[in-house]
Structure 1
Amino acid sequence: MSIQDRVIAIIAEQAVLDPADVTLESSLDDLGITSLGLVESIFAIEEEFDISIPFNANEPTASDFDISSVAAIVKGIESLVAQKV
């Protein structure tokens, strides 16, 4: 399973959606993910990939990590995983 598929599966689980309903163009708002759901998604993604995402839940806009869309999140995770190697 690719990084993209794994991230989509985690986001879909948090949004209580079928992964097929989560597109790369979807924003977290589109998917109905609240700030709490976002934090839970971040934790789940960190655990899945054994990475640390530079994200401050108290100041989400102050983060360098782009959460504007599923595609942006996948790109960020791919970058963090590549740096880990």
Structure 2
Amino acid sequence: MSNEVQDKVIEIIAEQAVLDVSDVTPESSLDDLGIDSLGLVESIFAIEEAFDIQVPFNANDPSESDFDISSVAAIIKAVEGLVAEQKQ
């Protein structure tokens, strides 16, 4: 499942940043990709819809949330965690 999650998250982020999927790597930060706060919100909504999960409302505050948005890899890991929780 991990590759499916990674591919879909990268696809969503690339779409929101108006980039080719090949331009988005797990090592990319949202700043690197030119994603502002509105783009982040739109990406989160798209991720929630795609995976039928609920991202914590405080995801943008690392001290308050386990959902890390510091890089694409961190977002992928957080989404994998939420998907796993949902299946329990």
User: Structure 1 length as normaliser, TM-score?
Assistant: 0.91
Identity of aligned residues (%): 73
Among candidates 41, 47, 50, match of residue 49 of structure 2: 47
Long gaps (5+) in structure 2: none
Could you tell me how far apart the structure 2 residues matched to 1:13 and 1:33 are? 11
Among candidates 1, 4, 7, match of residue 2 of structure 1: 4
**What is the alpha-carbon root mean square deviation over aligned residues?**
1.3
Long gaps (5+) in structure 1: none
Among candidates 77, 82, 85, match of residue 84 of structure 2: 82
Contact 2:66/2:78, CA 8 A, preserved across alignment: no
Please state whether the residue corresponding to 2:29 is helix, strand or coil. Answer: coil
Say if 2:19 is the partner of 1:17.
yes
Question: How many equivalent pairs are there?
Answer: 83
Q: Which amino acid aligns with 1:18?
A: D
Could you tell me how far apart the structure 2 residues matched to 1:53 and 1:5 are? 18
Please state whether the residue corresponding to 1:2 is helix, strand or coil. Answer: helix
Q: How many Å apart are 1:64 and its aligned residue?
A: 2.8
Could you tell me how far apart the structure 1 residues matched to 2:65 and 2:39 are? 17
Could you tell me how far apart the structure 2 residues matched to 1:34 and 1:3 are? 22
Say if 2:56 is the partner of 1:33.
no
Among candidates 52, 72, 85, match of residue 74 of structure 2: 72
Q: Which amino acid aligns with 1:41?
A: S
